[in-house]
């Protein structure tokens, strides 16, 4: 439990700028969701028995959670490790590097949960989902958050500078959003890209979220959870090895 | 091994063995930092090369050396932040790096580069840092007034870090290192970049800590700092310890007691022809000749006759020892 005081530290920093942070959680995903939902939605037929806006809302919860986890695990974590040397200060106390890495995962997950909750709150307020099953999107946000936090830390452990993160966002995150069924069904993609989609963690998250939003228990639920957990364990393990190597210099 | 040998002799002479036992035991208890044949290389370069250290409780011990001598690496090894290639290490009777975490409970660190939390106030920095030691908030808050007083920052309690001067940040970093009331304090170049007023205040605080019985291990490349503060010091060069003693002993052992610095445009010419006649040893660096002498009188008399040369006569100091042992060429 030695990661708890570090989590408290991050929370105290967050509390000082909570207003801007919450705005950030809400503004970007909502602009996309409502803009595309109403704009494109008015020209589109129903999708899978729901309006385009409802279709989009499930994907928005997943990708905004992913974005939030990724930003925290890359930019903010890198600032603490490299620029502010917060990690160096903490390492001089009876806290180990493993505790710090764990605290970063838990904190980035906490932030992404806030992001997921913010979007979900708007969805419920707008009456886009009436099913009690949609409550399961809260633990799902947690799972998506921990998964992309752990994966993002691999990049942070490798990064020489902030500009390095551009590769990850441009070459990994953006294609992931487009290939994971956030904005349109994966079945619209050519078969070769559908195979790529099937291995991306976000598409498994969307496959859980969308049925739940419509009050249906997702098919192959355990498989999707297992994939997300698998990526989490992989990300955490690899980043830990890389951080140990990086900080032992 | 020593304790074992004493135990074997127990049967023969019990009374004498008891005394030996006690002596060995107290020595072990009072040794706070122990390193034996410590080695560490990076990419084939030996940064720490066969270092031995035994630092006693209550001592202020200095590590001196030019840039790249291995001072910071030594501190990181002692704290268990990096693993040695070989050698034996203990800190407060905990084996390092294996039990380094346990040892760090009783250690405070002032790092070379400030890493205070810029988003927090002075008091918040201390509170948040204390929690890393497993301290309760009430426990830390009880120590806050004393820590702020020690750092002369009571009036800055609620100030944000970016508004503090360099000296204030350094003092806060020192107070932060004391939040857990440590037995040992590591200080990596504690006064680098500070103005003279700020340095003197830090020195005063470090002397107070020594008076309280804390053990201090500091690195510096300010000779006056080492000479004033340290009971003992080691001079490191290229990862090796090339000398170790009290500042006074180092000066007495390694260098002639008096120095005459001679300056002037034609000093090089003068030195070549005359300096050897009047001094045990001399060195020319730029437009200054450093003449090391046991008795300065003949040289001073000689210099009176040279209108073009000016001079400064002073007792030998630690910097003379340092430059003699590590050379005058730049280390970059």
Within this chain, do residues B99 and B168 fall inside the same structural domain, yes or no? yes
Instruction: Please report whether residue B47 resides in a domain.
Output: yes
Give the pLDDT of residue B15.
64
Instruction: Please report whether residue B221 resides in a domain.
Output: yes
Averaged in consecutive runs of 10 residues, what is the pLDDT profile of chain A (249 residues)?
94 90 82 86 81 92 95 96 95 96 97 93 91 95 98 97 95 95 92 95 96 93 98 98 92
The residue range of the domain holding A55 is: 4-247
**What percent of the residues of chain B are helix, what percent strand, and what percent coil, each to the nearest 5?**
40, 25, 30
Q: CB A248 to CB B83 under 8 A?
A: yes
Give the pLDDT of residue B8.
54
Counting the structural domains of chain A, the total is: 1
Within this chain, do residues B110 and B84 fall inside the same structural domain, yes or no? yes
B45 and chain A in contact, CB less than 8 A: no
Q: CB B109 to CB A92 under 8 A?
A: yes
What are the residues whose beta carbons fall under 8 Å from the beta carbon of A100, sequence distance 6 or more? A3, A6, A87, A90, A91
Q: What is the pLDDT of residues B167-192, one digit of tens each?
A: 999 999 999 999 999 999 999 999 98
Within this chain, do residues B140 and B204 fall inside the same structural domain, yes or no? yes
The residue from B213, B235, B252 where one domain ends is B252
Within this chain, do residues B153 and B236 fall inside the same structural domain, yes or no? yes
Q: Which residues in A lie closer than 8 A to residue B119 (C-beta atoms)?
A: 13, 16
Q: CB B131 to CB A249 under 8 A?
A: no
Within this chain, do residues B175 and B162 fall inside the same structural domain, yes or no? yes
The residue from B252, B269, B290 where one domain ends is B252
Residues A208, A139: contact at Cβ < 8 Å?
A: no
Among candidate residues A131, A198, A115, A50, the one with its CA nearest the CA of residue A206: A198
B265 and chain A in contact, CB less than 8 A: no
Give the pLDDT of residue B284.
87
Q: Which residues in B lie closer than 8 A to residue A89 (C-beta atoms)?
A: 111, 115-117, 129
**Run of H or E residues at B197:** helix B196-211
Residue with tokens 């707008």: A126
Within this chain, do residues B202 and B262 fall inside the same structural domain, yes or no? no
Whether the bond into A153 is cis, omega within 30 of 0:
no
Question: Which residue of A lies nearest to B72 if distances are taken between CA atoms?
Answer: A249
Complex-level ipTM: 0.91
Q: Which of B113, B116, B133 sits opposite A93 (nearest CB)?
A: B133
The residue from B204, B232, B252 where one domain ends is B252
Return the number of CB contacts < 8 Å for A and B. Answer: 62
Give the pLDDT of residue B305.
83
Q: CB B115 to CB A88 under 8 A?
A: yes
* Minimum mean pLDDT range among A19-28, B205-214, B250-259: A19-28
Within this chain, do residues B307 and B221 fall inside the same structural domain, yes or no? no
Q: CB B119 to CB A86 under 8 A?
A: no
Q: CB B117 to CB A9 under 8 A?
A: yes
Question: Which residue of A lies nearest to B83 if distances are taken between CA atoms?
Answer: A248
**Run of H or E residues at A64:** helix A52-71
Among candidate residues B316, B332, B315, B314, the one with its CA nearest the CA of residue B324: B316
Average pLDDT over residues B86-107: 95
Average pLDDT over residues B228-245: 93
The residue range of the domain holding B305 is: 257-315
Counting the structural domains of chain B, the total is: 2
Give the pLDDT of residue B290.
92
What CATH number is attached to the domain comprising B180?
3.40.50.300
Average pLDDT over residues B259-279: 87
Q: CB B82 to CB A9 under 8 A?
A: no
Distance between CA atoms of A168 and A75, rounded to whole angstroms?
Answer: 12
Q: Which residues in A lie closer than 8 A to residue B82 (C-beta atoms)?
A: 248-249
Q: Which residues in B lie closer than 8 A to residue A1 (C-beta atoms)?
A: none
Within this chain, do residues B287 and B188 fall inside the same structural domain, yes or no? no
Within this chain, do residues B129 and B225 fall inside the same structural domain, yes or no? yes
* Minimum mean pLDDT range among B15-19, B56-60, B253-257: B15-19
Strands, sheet with B60-64, edge to edge from the N-terminal-most edge strand = B107-110, B184-188, B215-220, B60-64, B232-237, B240-245
B131 and chain A in contact, CB less than 8 A: yes
Residues B191, B171: contact at Cβ < 8 Å?
A: no
Distance between CA atoms of A98 and B283, rounded to whole angstroms?
Answer: 53
Q: CB B42 to CB A85 under 8 A?
A: no
Residue B90 token pair? 């203990």
Please report, rounded to a whole number, the percentage of residues in chain B having pLDDT higher than 90: 68
Q: Which residues in B lie closer than 8 A to residue A10 (C-beta atoms)?
A: none
Distance between CA atoms of B63 and B189, rounded to whole angstroms?
Answer: 10
Q: What angle do CA B292, B295, B301 make, to 5 degrees?
A: 95
């Amino acid at each position: 439990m030695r990661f708890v005081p570090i989590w408290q530290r991050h929370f105290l920093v967050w509390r000082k700028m909570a207003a801007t942070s919450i705005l950030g959680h809400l503004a970007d995903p909502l602009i996309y969701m409502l803009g595309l939902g109403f704009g494109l939605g008015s020209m589109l037929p129903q999708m899978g028995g729901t309006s385009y806006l409802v279709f989009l809302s499930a994907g928005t919860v997943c990708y905004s959670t992913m974005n939030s986890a990724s930003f925290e695990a890359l930019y903010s974590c890198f600032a603490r490790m490299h620029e502010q040397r917060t990690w160096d200060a903490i390492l001089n106390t009876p806290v180990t590097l493993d505790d710090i890495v764990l605290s970063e995962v838990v904190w980035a997950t906490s932030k992404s949960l806030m992001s997921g909750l913010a979007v979900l709150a708007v969805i419920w307020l707008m009456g886009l989902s009436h099913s009690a099953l949609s409550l399961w999107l809260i633990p799902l946000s947690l799972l998506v958050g921990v998964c992309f936090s752990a994966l993002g830390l691999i990049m942070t452990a490798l990064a020489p500078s902030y500009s390095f993160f551009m590769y990850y966002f441009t070459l990994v995150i953006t294609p992931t959003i487009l290939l994971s069924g956030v904005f349109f069904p994966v079945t619209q993609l050519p078969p070769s890209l559908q195979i790529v989609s099937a291995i991306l963690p976000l598409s498994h998250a969307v496959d859980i979220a969308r049925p739940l939003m419509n009050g249906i228990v997702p098919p192959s639920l355990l498989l999707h959870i297992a994939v997300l957990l698998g990526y989490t364990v992989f990300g955490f393990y690899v980043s830990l090895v890389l951080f140990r190597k990086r900080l032992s210099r | 091994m020593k304790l074992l040998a004493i135990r074997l002799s127990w049967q023969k002479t019990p009374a004498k063995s008891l005394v030996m036992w006690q002596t060995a035991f107290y020595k072990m208890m009072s040794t706070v930092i122990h390193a034996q044949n410590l080695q560490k290389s990076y990419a084939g370069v030996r940064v720490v090369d066969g270092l031995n250290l035994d630092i006693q409780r209550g001592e202020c011990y200095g590590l001196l050396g030019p840039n790249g001598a291995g001072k910071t690496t030594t501190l990181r090894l002692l704290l268990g932040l990096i693993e040695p290639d070989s050698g034996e290490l203990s800190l407060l009777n905990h084996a390092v790096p294996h039990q380094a975490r346990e040892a760090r409970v009783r250690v405070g660190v002032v790092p070379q580069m400030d890493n205070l939390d810029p988003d927090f106030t002075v008091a918040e920095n201390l509170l948040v840092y204390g929690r890393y030691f497993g301290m309760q908030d009430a426990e830390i808050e009880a120590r806050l007034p004393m820590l702020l007083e020690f750092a002369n920052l009571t009036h800055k309690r609620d100030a944000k870090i970016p508004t503090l001067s360099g000296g204030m940040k350094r003092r806060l970093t020192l107070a932060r290192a004391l939040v857990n009331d440590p037995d040992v304090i590591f200080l990596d170049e504690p006064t680098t970049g500070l103005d003279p007023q700020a340095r003197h205040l830090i020195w005063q605080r470090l002397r107070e800590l020594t008076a309280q019985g804390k053990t201090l291990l500091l690195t510096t490349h300010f000779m006056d700092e080492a000479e004033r503060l340290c009971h003992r010091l080691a001079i490191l060069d290229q990862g090796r310890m090339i000398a170790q003693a009290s500042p006074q002993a180092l000066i007495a052992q390694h260098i002639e007691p008096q120095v005459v610095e001679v300056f002037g445009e034609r000093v090089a010419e003068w030195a070549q022809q005359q300096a050897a006649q009047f001094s045990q040893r001399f060195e020319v660096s730029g437009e200054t000749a450093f003449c090391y002498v046991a008795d300065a009188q003949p040289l001073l008399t000689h210099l009176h006759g040279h209108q073009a040369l000016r001079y400064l006569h002073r007792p030998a100091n630690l910097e003379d020892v340092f430059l003699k042992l590590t050379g005058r060429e730049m280390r970059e």
